[in-house]
Every structure is written in structure tokens, then in C-alpha cells.
Structure 1
Amino acid sequence: MSIHMINPASMGGEPASYSNGMLAEGAQKTVYTAGQIGIDANGVASADVATQCRQAWANIEAILAESGMGITNIVKTTIFLVNPADYATFVEVRKGVLKGHKPASTLVYVSGLVKPEWKVEIEAIAVK
């Protein structure tokens, strides 16, 4: 088995102390993403939760694309939301991204993420 770091240039390249994703490749490929937040390649987070949700999913899609995978390869997600009032918005964005794909999922409310402006964080595991 080989293991490769996945740090798409579209996300700003390699973070200082972790990888955005790890690809474990053997008889099958498995990608584990780091928690993706709603920031773009310049490190900017919108104040709008829907925009942050879309950006977090776009970051996951970029990691999967670099691994030769897509959304339908996701088998498990873990979502962290700061504000329970953002749940309906998150669900609508998720439906638009997953388009009927239904991976196993865990969603938890947290009192905060690393920066106060961050509203959502999403982790994913994908297999091909």
C-alpha cells in the first residue's frame, strides 16, 4: 500500500502542519479528508453560511478530483456546525452537492471552530 498527501493548488497548496487529504492506495483507493472549512484559496471565509458550506464541499471535491474520485465515492461524512439555526441551510446545500448520493453521515453541533467566523467544517472518507 502507498500513501500520498493531497493538497490541491486550487485550495492554496500545502498547509503548514497537515494535509488536506490522504490517499491510501492498494487494491482499492481510500481518501480521508481533513476537516474542510468554508475558506477559499486565499484563506477568505464569507460571512454567509450557505457560501461557507458550498466552499467546504468544493474543497472536498477538489481533494477527491486529485485522487481520481468524485462525490459519489464518498462513503462517510462528519459535519460540525456552530449554529443549530444553520442546519436547514446546510441540508439544502448538501442536497445540491450530493444530488441524491447518501453516504453515512454524522452531524454534531459544536460551541465553536478554530476561528470565530468559521461556521461549518466537513470531513469525508471516499473509496474507489
Structure 2
Amino acid sequence: MTYAIEQLNPAILPERSGAYTHGTVVTGARRTVFVSGQVPWAERGVVPPDFADQCRLTWRNVLAVLAEAGMGVANLAKVTTYLSDRAYREENGRIRHEVLGEHRPAITIIITEIYAPEWLLEIEAVAVD
């Protein structure tokens, strides 16, 4: 590995409440991949009805873009998740932790209206290697 993703968690900031880091510094990276907002579309445009399935499918789509670049979870430096409802915060965090394991990129979660009403979330990311 020729790059490093360093976590930034300044002592003056509140203790982190979840599986993320306050910031990241990337050094020695050769490439940066910007993953466009991925949504819970399966093949043929099928959208699962419940949040957990949508969240896992959306992460699958993010990871597919990373795999196309020869990257994976460990390459993620920044992830932004758009949720259609605050009620999905905890389940989103739990599933994100399932996907990321112990990897802690910088994370932003925004509660907003999503482009299509059947989509309950959208995830975009930045990865490096």
C-alpha cells in the first residue's frame, strides 16, 4: 500500500458517537475515485420496499463502483449518506458498520428529500489508493 488514510479526531471536539472519524488526511495516493450518488436500484430497476434491503443494495452498488476501480472498503476516505427520514438513522448506522467493519472514513449524514419517492437513501463516496 503506497497511500495512508489517517484519522483526525481533535481532542477539543466532542467524543464521536458512532463508527466514523471527524476527518481524514490522505497521503501518498495515486488515484482518487468519486462515486456518484448510488441508489437502491437492483437489476431491471427493482427497488426493495424496506429500508434495510435498500441500504444493503445501495452499499452493494457503491462497492461495485469501487471494485470497477480495483478498490474496496479500505479505500474509502469520505462517505455522504442522504436519508429520506430521520427514523432511518440507527438502522443506517448499523448496516454501515456491517459493511465497513472497523474502517472509519469521514462520514456525513443528511436528512433530505430524495430524487425518487421510493428511494429511502442515497450514498456517495470518495476513495483513494
Task: Please give the TM-score of this superposition, normalised by the length of structure 1.
Answer: 0.76
Match of 2:38 among 36, 51, 61: 36
CA distance in 2, matches of 1:51, 1:88: 14
Report 1:70-85 matches (<5 A): 70-85=72-87
Ranges in structure 1 where 5+ consecutive residues have no aligned partner: 1-26
Structure 2 residues not aligned, in runs of 5+: 1-28
The aligned amino acid for 2:90 is A
The alignment yields a C-alpha RMSD, in angstroms, of: 1.0
* Mapped partners of 2:121, 2:50: distance in 1: 11
Match of 1:50 among 26, 49, 52: 52
Q: Which amino acid aligns with 1:103?
A: P
Q: Which has the higher contact order (CA 8 A, sep 6+)?
A: 2
Q: Distance in 2 between matches of 1:73 and 1:41?
A: 26
Q: SS state of the match for residue 42, structure 1?
A: helix
Which of 86, 98, 101 does residue 103 from structure 2 map onto? 101
- Report how many aligned residue pairs link the two structures: 101
Deviations 1:76-126 (A, max 9, x none): 01110011111111111101000011100111100x211111000000000
d(CA) in 2 for partners of 1:43, 1:75: 29
Read off the aligned partner of 2:75 and give its amino acid letter.
N
Tell me which of 65, 68, 77 is aligned to 2:67: 65
**Which consecutive segments of 4 or more residues in structure 1 shift more than 4 A?**
none
* 1:3-57 residue CA offsets vs partner (Å, 9 max, x unmatched): xxxxxxxxxxxxxxxxxxxxxxxx7111101101111121111111011110111
SS of match in other structure, 1:94? helix
SS at match of 2:59: helix
